[in-house]
Amino acid sequence: MFGLNSKDTRAFLLIAALAMLAPILLNPFPTGSALAQFNAGYPDLMQRFVIFGIFAIGFNILFGLTGYLSFGHAAFLGVGSYSAVWMFKLLSMNVVPALILSVIVAALFSIFIGFVSLRRSGIYFSILTLAFAQMSFNLAYSVFTPITNGETGLQVYNSDPQYLMAEGDPTVTHFFGLEMRETFTLQLGGWSFDFAAGYYMCALLLLAAFYLSVRIFRSPFGLTLRAIKSNQQRVNYTGLNARPYTLAAFVISGMYAGLAGGLLACMDPLAGAERMQWTASGEVVLMTILGGAGTLIGPVLGAGFIKYFENIFSKINDTVLHQWFAFMPDGLENVIVTIVHPFIGKGWNLTLGLMFMAVVIFLPGGLVEGGQRIGKLFSKRIPSDAASAAGRPSE
């Protein structure tokens, strides 16, 4: 379908189904029930899932294919957000020009940074991108205050010109009149599902982004990038100059980040410098690695996983824990709650750090590799037959 082979089509359809049905799938518990706190099907959170999914897909095009570990990708996200908000301030609250500009600005910015940083590889590349991102972060806080509004963050005011704003246009972000926050709520028995316009726009863009990344992965260009990852010297010896390819990958992933940043601003017309901080760059690295770098759906999984558990874990507190373990004898209950306590609520980052370390140590392929291993356990016989068949030399 659309030039994808059957396996990729299946992956694409899986993502499409997940994205389209997310408001239902993520709300498995009735609204009033005790488990309702595990529901993640409200628009605000789902939008973050898909936006960070886009961000991680883009990062994966660079890191997964070429192996260049950038620690400064949040800079592009921040730049995208700033340009989107500027479009809201100058033109109108329509999201289309905002998204277009954020992608373009992020592309220009990443051409510049990529051109300089890609002259070095390995750890030097990581440090260069880190240096650039920190530099942009510091500048956004200090000198560029007229553009970025410093610590307050950039936002839309009534006094802004908004030249294209017609009479009666919505004053919130909209797609040609369709307001992003417009939500259709479906009540079904005890369940309630929210279908938000903003979420579906993000989801469609995620699908487009995913489709594009599949095509890149399967294209000759993608193959060249993989060749660069496995042995850059060899690529050079075959007469290919690696740098234009890596730069193209860098810029593409920068544009994905810009799109994600623009979308963040579309859902909530605010932009702050903290989006560019290097911890934010670290987050997208975590997402990609956790899901599985170099795989197609890994980054989306990783982004969803981290954002979901961030939300859930931060909500759990001691009272909830006491409810859960209430069936135990009192002493044991208290001991368990005390043990679990550091990992929940504000301690969510501790859990994340431990999980991340565990993945890097034991599962370098991330969740996707974990899934494959579990899959292999259940279908042991067939692969071992296939393996022995493959091992036999052909006569």
Partner 1 sequence: MDALLLQIMNGLDKGSAYALIALGLTLIFGTLGVVNFAHGALFMIGAFCAVTMQKILTLSATTYDPLKLDFLGNPAMIKTPYVNTWFSEDFGALLIDWSVPLSILLAIPVMIGLGFIMERGLIKHFYKRPHADQILVTFGLAIVLQEIIKYFYGANPIPMPAPEMFKGSIDFGMMIGFDANQVIYPAWRLVYFLFSTVVIAAVFAFLQFTTFGMVVRAGMADRETVGLLGIDIDKRFTLMFGIAAAVAGLAGVMYTPINSPNYHMGMDFLVLSFVVVVVGGMGSLPGAVLAGFALGVLQSFASMNEVKSLLPGIDQVIIYLVAIVILLTRPRGLMGRKGVMEE
The residues of the shown chain that bind partner 1, judged by CB under 8 A, are 67, 69, 116, 119-124, 126-128, 130-132, 134-135, 138-139, 141-144, 232-233, 278-279, 282, 285, 289, 342, 346-347, 349-350, 352-354, 356-357, 360-361, 364
Nearer to partner 1, 143 or 178 (CB): 143
Q: How far is the CB of 321 from partner 1 (least distance, A)?
A: 16
Nearer to partner 1, 212 or 340 (CB): 340
Nearer to partner 1, 134 or 155 (CB): 134
Q: How far apart, in whole angstroms, are the C-alpha atoms of residue 348 and residue 355?
A: 11
3-state secondary structure of 68: coil
Nearer to partner 1, 41 or 58 (CB): 58
Nearer to partner 1, 17 or 116 (CB): 116
Distance of CA 19 to the CA centre of its chain: 14
Nearer to partner 1, 121 or 314 (CB): 121
Nearer to partner 1, 279 or 379 (CB): 279
Q: How far is the CB of 324 from partner 1 (least distance, A)?
A: 21
Q: How many CB atoms lie within 10 A of CB 154?
A: 23
Q: How far apart, in whole angstroms, are the C-alpha atoms of residue 276 and residue 132?
A: 10
3-state secondary structure of 13: helix
Nearer to partner 1, 120 or 226 (CB): 120
Q: Dig out the tokens for 279 from the structure.
A: 């911890």
Q: How far is the CB of 112 from partner 1 (least distance, A)?
A: 12
Between helices 197-218 and 220-230, what is the axis angle to 10°?
A: 70
Q: How many CB atoms lie within 10 A of CB 9?
A: 14
What one-character-per-residue DSSP string does 128-186 give?
A: HHHHHHHHHHHHHHTTTHHHH-GGG-EE--TTS--TTPPTT--SS-EETTEETT-EEEE
Q: How far apart, in whole angstroms, are the C-alpha atoms of residue 274 and residue 372?
A: 37
Q: How far is the CB of 247 from partner 1 (least distance, A)?
A: 15
CB distance 293 to 366 below 8 Å: yes
> Cα-atom radius of gyration of the chain, to the nearest Å?
23
Q: How far is the CB of 344 from partner 1 (least distance, A)?
A: 11
Q: How far is the CB of 151 from partner 1 (least distance, A)?
A: 14
Q: How far is the CB of 131 from partner 1 (least distance, A)?
A: 4
Nearer to partner 1, 28 or 342 (CB): 342
Supply the DSSP symbol for 187: E
Nearer to partner 1, 94 or 295 (CB): 295
Q: How far is the CB of 248 from partner 1 (least distance, A)?
A: 21
Nearest partner of 172 among 196, 151, 152, judged by Cα: 196
Burial 362-390 (b: 16+ CB within 10 A, else e): ebebbbbbebeeeeeeeeeeeeeeeeeee
Nearer to partner 1, 18 or 75 (CB): 75
Supply the DSSP symbol for 393: P
Q: How far is the CB of 231 from partner 1 (least distance, A)?
A: 10
What is each CA distance from 236 to 38, 223, 228, 239, 248, in whole angstroms? 51, 15, 9, 5, 17
Between helices 278-291 and 122-141, what is the axis angle to 10°?
A: 140
